[in-house]
Structure formats: structure tokens, C-alpha cells
Amino acid sequence: MDNQTYFAMYTLMEPKGSKSYRHLYFTSFLLLYALILLTNLWLSVVIVLERALHEPMYIFLCNLCVNYLYGATGFYSKFMHDLILDSYVIPSFMCGLQAFVIYSSAMCTTLAVMAYDRHVAICQPLDYHSNLTKNTCGILLLFCWTVPFTCMFCGVVLPFCKYHIDKLYCDNWSIVKLSCASSFVNNIYGYIVAVIFCCCAVIIIVSYVKLISACKASLENRRKFWQTCLPHILSLINFTFALLFDVMYSRYGSNDISESLRNFLALELVIVPPVFNPLIYGLNIRAVSKRH
């Protein structure tokens, strides 16, 4: 493997009409990034400062907000830099770092932990604090961060013979498609990540099956379910569609699809969840909205 593998410069897809509307795009994405920073920071600060919210549910929510903050920064900082300078070039190590940051923040481990938390809170309310102790919460938070970081670090560096990424930002599959070597090992890595996603999905599904069963037997449980689980369900739907769009773009996107649609599919993952999830929780969780 030669040095070019490590020090290559990649070119990213240029947004349609970016030369004519570059400053409009920059302003729009700057405002969007500011909204993401404001909403996620606001919710995080509220949870940190309000002692009444120092409960596992809100700690995991704060973790989700932090997750979105660094993931959005990985995309917006580079994208706005390219727009304002009209330059869509990225060094190979920065490309790998961007893919790492965006995708490690897009893992569903936090949502799985939040589903488990709601299951214990509603199905086993008397044992909630004994089951979700500070040590247990610490282990669950470690799980939320360790799994995605480990998955991203396991990505295999391949020799490249192409240097144009047909996407507005770097991701693992786009980088793999640039390789002129066999991607067998990287595919194995992809299957491992898929298994982890499936495990998270199983945790979420099992938790909600038990939650729904518990709600049938109690009016109080139904009230708790709609009050605290509805935001989580909306976040799950939001995340699922965003991830589905991104996978569709990465795996099946082609020149047969209009550039505008391809850009929408690519950007949905880095735009919609970080914007709407803190708004969903801020507006629907009574404890937060009442205090602020």
C-alpha cells in the first residue's frame, strides 16, 4: 500500500447550483446548524442544571443531545467551509474522521438504552431506582459510546484508485467504493455493524412489546406511556427513516436518480434527527416544558 492511500485528496459532490446560490446555501445551513446547537445545548443545559431532572431518563436524553451535537459538527463545519470557499476537497484522513464522527453519532445504541429505561420505569416502577443505579447508568452510557466508537474504529483502510466521492460528505460505503482492492473484509465489518443494529432493534422491540402489554392492564401505565414514550417513538421513527434514506442513497443511489433527490436522501440523516428530536422532547416531556 503506497503513501497515496494515506495522503490522498478527495473531491466531494458539489451541490447543484452552488456557484450561483453559494451564499444562500451557506446562510441556510448556518441557520440550521445554529438551530441544532441552540436546541440541543438548551435541552442539555436544562437537564444538567435542574436537579429534579437528574434521573436516568433525562441523563440518557442529555447523552442523545450531546451525540447529535458532535455528529452535526462533523458535517456542518466542513460543508459550510466548502460552500463559502467554493472548494469541495477533503484530505483522506479528514474524510475518514468525518465518516467516523457522523456515523458514530448515528448509531441506535442510545435509543435502545432509552427504550430499556422506559420499560423498567413503567413495567417495574417499584424497582426502577434499584435497577437503574448510578453504576448501571454509567455502564449503559459507556455502552452507548463504546459500541459505535468501536464499530467505526474497526473500519478497514483500503488502497484507493479513485478519488471522487459522489456524496456531499464522507461515509464508509462511499470510501469503500473508491477502492481498487477487494472489499471482502470491509463487507464483513459491515455485517458486524448490521448485527449490532439488529441487536439494538431487538432491545427496542422487546421493550415496547412489554410496555404495550403493561399499558393494557393499567390506566396509569397508559398515561405514563403517552407522556414519556411518545417522544421516544417519534425519535425512533425519525431515526429509522433517516437511516433508511441514507442506506438507500449509499447502496442504491445512482445517476438515474435526480441530483436533488440524491442530496435530500443524503442530508436527511444529518439534518432532521438533530433538529427535531430535541424539539420533540422539549415540547412533549412535561417535566422539562413546565420548568422552562
Question: The domain that contains 163 carries what CATH number?
Answer: 1.20.1070.10
**Buried-exposed string 192-220: b where 16+ CB fall within 10 A, e elsewhere:** ebeebbeebbebbeebbebbeebbeeeee
* Highest mean predicted confidence (pLDDT) among 121-125, 132-136, 178-182, 261-265: 132-136
5 or 142: which leads in pLDDT: 142
For range 264-285, the mean pLDDT: 77
Per-residue pLDDT, 3: 43
C-alpha angle 33/257/105, rounded to 5°? 35
- Name the domain count of the chain: 1
- Which grid coordinates belong to 216? 393494557
Average pLDDT, the chain: 80
Among residues 63, 22, 17, 8, the alpha carbon closest in space to that of 40 is found at 63
In angstroms, rounded to a whole number, what is the distance separating the alpha carbons of residues 22 and 137? 45
For range 248-258, the mean pLDDT: 64
Question: Which DSSP string do the residues of 192-239 spell out, in sequence order?
Answer: HHHHHHHHHHHHHHHHHHHHHHHHHT-HHHHHHIIIIIHHHHHHHHHH
For range 138-147, the mean pLDDT: 89
For range 183-192, the mean pLDDT: 74
Residue 34 pLDDT grade (very low, low, confident, very high; cuts 50, 70, 90):
very high
pLDDT tens track for 7-19: 577 888 888 766 7
pLDDT tens track for 68-126: 898 889 899 999 988 888 888 988 888 888 888 887 776 688 889 989 998 898 888 88
Torsion angle, alpha carbons of 17, 21, 26, 31, to 10: -110
Residue 199 pLDDT grade (very low, low, confident, very high; cuts 50, 70, 90):
confident
pTM of the entire structure? 0.82
Look at residue 5 and tell me whether its pLDDT is greater than 50. Answer: no
Q: For residue 242, give its domain range.
A: 4-291
- Which grid coordinates belong to 249? 442513497
Look at residue 162 and tell me whether its pLDDT is greater than 70. Answer: yes
Look at residue 1 and tell me whether its pLDDT is greater than 60. Answer: no
Residue 64 pLDDT grade (very low, low, confident, very high; cuts 50, 70, 90):
confident
218 or 210: which leads in pLDDT: 210
Per-residue pLDDT, 290: 56
In angstroms, rounded to a whole number, what is the distance separating the alpha carbons of residues 141 and 189? 23
Share of the chain above pLDDT 90, in %: 11
